[in-house]
Amino acid sequence: MARRRTRGQAMERRSLSDGTYLSVLGIGCSRVGSISNSVSIGQIEATLDAAVEAGINLFDTANIYGQGDSERALGRLLRRHRGRTFVVTKVGGRHPRYAGLIRLAKPLLRIVTHSRPKLQGAVAQARTATIVHDFSPADLRPAIDGCRRRLGLDQLDGLLLHSPSIETLHKPEISDFLEEVLRGGKAARVGASVDSLAAIKAALSIPALSMIQAPADVAAQLPGTTILQSIRERKIGLFVREVLRRSDRKTHRDWSPRAAVSHAIAPHFVTAAIIGVSTRQHLNELLSAVP
């Protein structure tokens, strides 16, 4: 994997197989637009702007984050920073039809839930429980078009299947569909966001796949495996998430945020670490952890 740090650029970037360079630190946007996020959307967007100015060009989202408001916010970011961002979005989950009403009621729901912490947790659990997972091409096609519309892109930079099962990844129609997405120009790169080593192996059965996202603890199991050998040979971009949840198995102690980020991006086979950020203070803390 090629690496570079250009003159005046504050952050190392690593390349995908097509020569696209991405910052080793990517911003996860799962809580952008979320009812449970007490930070205003204006403050969050200012933090995203600051991330771009700090040299970060990788942003991760999904069609279900914030009932689509995460993608809408990134669409505005793209317009403010044309040519300076790379957005990866995910499909495979969808909210029920009444989610549109929830989105309209967000300002009121935030006021109510933030004054009642227990209610906030209940709302988050109820929201997660209503998500429907459907990886049929008939469901994925309109989902992808919705992503493109909210992001304001004819062609998505990167598209991932959102936590598909191993069985789903092995289905021929999934492989054919991702080929179709590439041929149709709806996404420049496709892949899968998975949850286990076995799921990474299953994802590698898809010829069109050029990106994989996985928890940091799962990626840490890759050295010495034939799975990692395949990732290297195919020059697949590997993004690690859940970085700040990582713990040291030898000492049974949690990593500090700085140590967790440093360890996550240390392996040469990792393209970038994806970490959720809402405030400038949190962003600055993470930036200090990147060499």
Q: How confident is the model at residue 7 (pLDDT cuts 50, 70, 90)?
A: very low
Q: Comparing C-alpha atoms, which of 275, 212, 209 is closest to residue 242?
A: 275
pLDDT in tens, 210-224: 999 999 999 999 999
**Is residue 198 assigned to a domain?**
yes
Biggest distance spanned by C-alpha atoms of the chain: 52
Structure tokens of 34? 């979320």
**What 3-state DSSP class applies to 59?**
strand
Residue 221 is encoded by which pair of tokens?
A: 């199991």
Share of the chain above pLDDT 90, in %: 65
- The two tokens of residue 110 are 């935030």
Cα three-residue angle 144-168-176, rounded to 5 degrees: 60
What is the average pLDDT across 116-121?
56
How far is the C-alpha of 197 from the C-alpha of 194, rounded, in Å? 8
pLDDT band at 147 (very low <50, low <70, confident <90, very high): very high
Residue 100 lies in a domain: no
Confidence band, pLDDT 50/70/90 cuts, at residue 41: confident
pLDDT band at 259 (very low <50, low <70, confident <90, very high): confident
Mean pLDDT of the chain: 87
pLDDT-derived band at 252, boundaries 50, 70, 90: very low
Q: Would 149 be classed as within a structural domain?
A: yes
- Position 249, amino acid: R
Identify whether 199 is part of a domain. Answer: yes
Does 110 fall in a domain? no
Q: Does some domain include residue 157?
A: yes
Enter the DSSP assignment of 54.
Answer: T
Listed ranges 18-22, 66-70, 100-104, 106-110; the one with the highest mean pLDDT:
18-22
pLDDT given at position 8: 43
Asked whether residue 123 is domain-assigned, the answer is: no
- 3-class DSSP state of 1: coil
CATH code for the domain in which residue 13 is found = 3.20.20.100
Query: Which is more confidently placed, 121 or 21?
Result: 21
Among 279, 288, 287, residue whose Cα is nearest residue 39: 279
Q: Which amino acid is at 25?
A: L
Count of structural domains, the chain: 1
State the Cα–Cα distance between residues 213 and 199, nearest whole angstrom. Answer: 11
Q: Across residues 46-64, what is the average pLDDT? A: 96
Measured distance CA(250)–CA(247) in Å, rounded = 9
Average the pLDDT over 113-135 and give the result: 63
Residues 224-245, mean pLDDT to the nearest whole number: 95
Nearest to 196 by CA among 213, 218, 225, 165: 218
Domain coverage including residue 75: 3-95+131-287
Residue 99: predicted pLDDT: 57
Please say if the pLDDT value at position 176 is more than 70: yes
- Residue 74, in any domain of the structure: yes
Q: List, edge to edge, every strand of the sheet that includes 21-23.
A: 3-4, 13-15, 21-23
pTM score above 0.85: yes
Residue 94 has, within 13 A of its CA and on its CB side, a CA count of: 16
pLDDT in the model for residue 101: 53
Mean pLDDT (whole number) for 63-76: 92
Alpha-carbon gap, residue 236 to 271, rounded angstroms: 9
Helix (H) or strand (E) holding 78: helix 69-80
